[in-house]
Chain A
Amino acid sequence: MSINRRQFLGLSGAAIAGAALAPGLRLIELAQARTPEEAATAQHRWGLLIDSSQCADGCTACVDACAEENGIQSHGRPATDAQWIRKVTLKDKQTGYVQNLPLMCQHCESPPCVDVCPTGASFKRADGIVLVDKHICIGCRYCMMACPYKARSFVHEVTTGQKAYAPRGKGTVESCTLCVQKVDRGDGSTACADACKKEGHQAILFGDLMDPSSEISKRLASQPSMELRANLKLNTGVRYQGL
């Protein structure tokens, strides 16, 4: 059987189409949630995109949702109460223009908190989430001093009412975990992003920075955004818009 030019071109085209489809199928496979047995891998990098122009003045939905999700209780002492996420108000002194933005752990690619930790308690997971292993944390608070975003808190008081998936204890440092329990469950969102969406502001978007088809990647590729303290070259996983 001989193949003429037209048939050869047709077959080649089909082969190329098949090769092009294969990576697409792989992307779908990657986007699926892990099973509980599977470890987090560097195929994902989780992050947030925060649009400060959508962040409403006086709204604390993200802060409240974070406290609810992670069992953070206030002792009525703002100076020492743990804060995983806080609202920051920026005011342009010349024009008087006021902006709000939620600030939390920026989940840096090169986290200063990990660099300074003397015990290895502060670490970055394979999928880019920066965490504190409280089993190893000795409460020295070097990481709190090293963090340029003031994102970490020391637990000063005995904790009660912890969630089963979010242990917290006196004498250790803690910060935003990017709702790691929800990430591992495959929820595809964080408590703060869900709460913001529910309030109708849509200022916080959670997603996979490594997946080019994710909404966060598409928006980052098509719209201007910035890192806070970009001069430190930490390559943060949390990006901001509208600042």
Chain B
Amino acid sequence: MRTVKLLHPLASLVLAAGLLLTGVSVFAHDNEAPATSASGRVPMPVRTIEKGEHCVEPLEVMRRDHMKLILHQRDMTMHEGIRTSKHSLKNCVDCHADSKTGSVLGKDGFCESCHHYAAVKIDCFECHSSVREASAAVATPPSTVRALSNTAVPQMTNETAKGKKP
């Protein structure tokens, strides 16, 4: 016990140094594509909006309640056959799928990058298609990156979306 106590400060120092090194290497790897927060420690999600001027609901509503809207629409469609597109998952994918991969998943995918950031598991695409339908992909205008700004969540500017440090 005594030796452990004696070694303890030294051990913690080594541990801290190790953590620091690992941390640096992890973030260095993650920094390649997405930008990081002001402290440079947290990789930010990539949110590239491919088409459309604005979402189907205000940004604040979508950020907090998009899952409720999708859940409500899901039951209406499944059980009653109501297939309005406004709050449908298909509509989400059609707008938000990446222009290169055609998907909302992947490292820089709209859904996955944010869910990864928030550490929330995303189950939708175990069954649902994560890619934009072929017909819609053809009609997609040239990709435009739109700035999103909100004080409630970390800011993203055009620069951060392109992978540069803020």
Binding site for B on A (CB under 8 A): 34, 36-40, 123, 125-127, 131, 133-135, 158-159, 161-165, 167-170, 172, 180, 183-184
Contact = CB atoms under 8 A, between A and B. Distances in A.
B46 to A, nearest CB: 23
Contact of A135 (B74, B90, B93): B74
A36 B90 CA distance: 14
A69 B50 CA distance: 28
Nearest to B74: A135
A38 B126 CA distance: 28
A164 B82 contact: no
Nearest to A183: B81
Interface string B55-98: 00000000000000000001010111111110000100100000
Contact of B80 (A40, A158, A170): A40
A176 B85 CA distance: 24
A143 to B, nearest CB: 16
B127 interface: yes
B81 A162 contact: no
18 contacts: A37-B84, A39-B80, A39-B81, A39-B82, A125-B79, A125-B80, A131-B78, A133-B79, A158-B126, A159-B127, A161-B129, A162-B128, A164-B90, A164-B128, A165-B90, A167-B127, A184-B81, A184-B83
Given A39-B76, A39-B81, A162-B127, 7 more contacts: A123-B79, A131-B78, A159-B127, A163-B129, A164-B90, A164-B129, A184-B83
Contact of A170 (B85, B126, B129, B133): B126
A167 B80 contact: no
Contacts of A163: 129
B127 A134 contact: yes
B81 A40 contact: yes
A126 to B, nearest CB: 7
Contacts of A184: 81, 83
Interface in B87-126: 90, 93, 126
A135 B83 CA distance: 17
Given A159-B127, A162-B127, A169-B127, A135 B80 contact: no
A168 B127 contact: yes
Considering residues A162, A167, A172, which has the most beta carbons from chain B within 10 angstroms of its beta carbon?
A: A167
Contacts of A126: 80-81
Contacts of B85: 36
A210 B79 CA distance: 20
Nearest to B133: A164
